[in-house]
Structure 1
């Protein structure tokens, strides 16, 4: 998707009304995406979606955790189903992206790269990432905009039909994520999309850390947090949350755990891939040490295409729809005001656009 075509969907009212606005506004996009998703399930797992999805939902129970820890988001998903005119189970299953991957045992290297930079006297806190997903998500990118509990505004980058992938509030909290597929999973934990949105509803990074420590996690995931006062990074999985030590005011992360060793029992490969390691080296080369980190430097780091460790992945037109590409990149600058820069594709080839959310 071209960045200038990225839709911004205003979602107001009750949680169900917000979901309904999301679904109605993006109804055609969601319908097209559901078709691509169902085809991709057959390609990835070797069985049709009509067989895989009922089996997946019957073998897991994430609903109890969702209702306990994020009940408003359960209502939002129901609203998406209503607005998009799709089945409740379809809308629900669409939220379970990371959980689908490990349940289906899809071989994945994982390709999101994230960072958080602590504030300095002349620079605000910065949180940023590339969001790398299968190419069939391309064309479904969107920004959701809704008022938060304090009357400020929250912006969430998403793939149409999902409650969110990453987001920031003008109250001063930004969250980015990257998959840690090597870590322990749970068929009854809180799925990643709900963890991210639940944490984003917190007032600051400290409260979000407490939330991440308190919920049972369904999937391995790294969460980069930043507010006006500082940053925090946690590697989370079914075994709990590990808060990482932040050195030199910056946290750089890709798709292997840096501190957690709570590996899945069925993990036989190393806890890191060569690609993930090389992407981390790329981030460190551009943003590590004593280098001064500016918003432009962050954008350059997210645009890097070093061989074997491409942070920005441009789609090869000849590749299959299940091949990973960068469907978006985002940068939050969290100071007295919050500035959001978003790219609706690989930042190595696509333009950035600044979106300035309102603050009460």
Structure 2
């Protein structure tokens, strides 16, 4: 199965309208999915309205063009602006709720994202490369967006209705993958640039230094990891939290790997309260991916894809499938597998678990 590819043109508002009209049904589906997940996680309808309104104000304050794109998505899709704000702030709203209420369970939403990457010399095909298995709720709809930011062309994956792509590449040789993190200090009330605005800014960056700067500043409301690559400058993973940030650079011949826990939480003084609900998956996937990618140097694409399709660990494996006995609202799978070649400016992906299909390649 392939994703819709939208070539966005015109003003930010017109780009939003195009997004909204083309993905009208998918956006309606995502609104329903996230409203359900947030209510399941402990929020009430008044909570959702209050928090969505607050984030609408933050998007308006932080970035007028992003807000204009949201307006266009709302008008094009027929959804309320508040529900579009909910989608664009879903990272802060959902992750802070999990930290606040300690939900959901299903053994800690068994799995999320496994990212990897390395500079030129790590991969047999050459150049800087990064990628990930993006594991998330079943039923979430996505698309690929391509747009221009000045002279920079951006190609990235987004969830339908979210104005800022979260995974992708640009014509400056910058690439981005992401990992959800959580800490007890996460607080949706912190006034800061929201996650999806940061990912858009990173994907519009001209250099690794600029991309890292967008990841770490200003202080975020919720913890997150931004796995950033540059054709010119290599690979860095940026762990961020309300208490501070830490940049880890890939060195040597081994790829860098990151999943859904801080590699050294004591370095930032964070307490990962959500790991108490049994999130052993993040540790298993990190160790397993490092082991698999260490079997060959330089690493071939065939070996890489085999690792992305690995099922060791069953329900907590790198390649994830829904556990049918889990509550429907808590079922997850590998929704997207993506391989980004930054020098070649190619994005290869599977929509759904990578064991079920071949990779489709799109180039800038």
User: TM range, normalised to the smaller chain?
Assistant: 0.7 to 0.9
Contact 1:123 1:294 in 2 (8 A): no
Determine if the alignment matches structure 1 residue 74 to structure 2 residue 79.
Answer: no
Contact 1:305 1:348 in 2 (8 A): no
Match of 2:263 among 255, 258, 264: 258
Range with bigger deviation, 101-110 or 324-333: 101-110
- CA distance in structure 1 between the aligned counterparts of 2:226 and 2:269, rounded to whole angstroms: 17
Contact 1:24 1:83 in 2 (8 A): yes
- CA distance in structure 1 between the aligned counterparts of 2:38 and 2:55, rounded to whole angstroms: 20
Q: Specify the alignment match of 1:273 in structure 2.
A: 279
* Aligned length in residues: 346
- CA distance in structure 2 between the aligned counterparts of 1:97 and 1:298, rounded to whole angstroms: 31
Contact 2:168 2:347 in 1 (8 A): no
Q: Any idea what the Cα deviations from partners look like across 1:30-53, whole Å, max 9, x if unmatched?
A: 1233233333333333x66x3341
Match of 2:6 among 3, 9, 33: 9
Shift of 1:313: 0.9
Q: Any idea what the Cα deviations from partners look like across 1:99-154, whole Å, max 9, x if unmatched?
A: 122332333455111112111295111110111111121xx12111112321x421
Q: Specify the alignment match of 1:153 in structure 2.
A: 153
Matches within 5 A, 1:208-219: 208-219=211-222
Determine if the alignment matches structure 1 residue 334 to structure 2 residue 356.
Answer: no
Higher relative helix content:
2
Determine if the alignment matches structure 1 residue 314 to structure 2 residue 282.
Answer: no
In structure 1, the gaps of 5 or more residues are: none
- CA distance in structure 2 between the aligned counterparts of 1:290 and 1:265, rounded to whole angstroms: 35
Q: Specify the alignment match of 1:324 in structure 2.
A: 332
Q: Specify the alignment match of 2:291 in structure 1.
A: 285
TM-score after normalising by structure 2: 0.86
Determine if the alignment matches structure 1 residue 25 to structure 2 residue 22.
Answer: yes
Q: Specify the alignment match of 1:300 in structure 2.
A: 306
Indicate how the Cα distance of structure 1 residues 263 and 14 shifts in structure 2: closer, same or farther if over 3 A, else same.
Answer: farther
- CA distance in structure 2 between the aligned counterparts of 1:302 and 1:182, rounded to whole angstroms: 27
TM-score after normalising by structure 1: 0.87
Q: Specify the alignment match of 1:162 in structure 2.
A: 162
Shift of 1:200: 1.1
Q: Specify the alignment match of 2:83 in structure 1.
A: 90
Range with bigger deviation, 74-83 or 105-114: 105-114
Q: Specify the alignment match of 1:345 in structure 2.
A: 352
- CA distance in structure 2 between the aligned counterparts of 1:280 and 1:42, rounded to whole angstroms: 30
Indicate how the Cα distance of structure 1 residues 159 and 51 shifts in structure 2: closer, same or farther if over 3 A, else same.
Answer: same
Indicate how the Cα distance of structure 1 residues 305 and 263 shifts in structure 2: closer, same or farther if over 3 A, else same.
Answer: farther
Contact 2:132 2:177 in 1 (8 A): yes
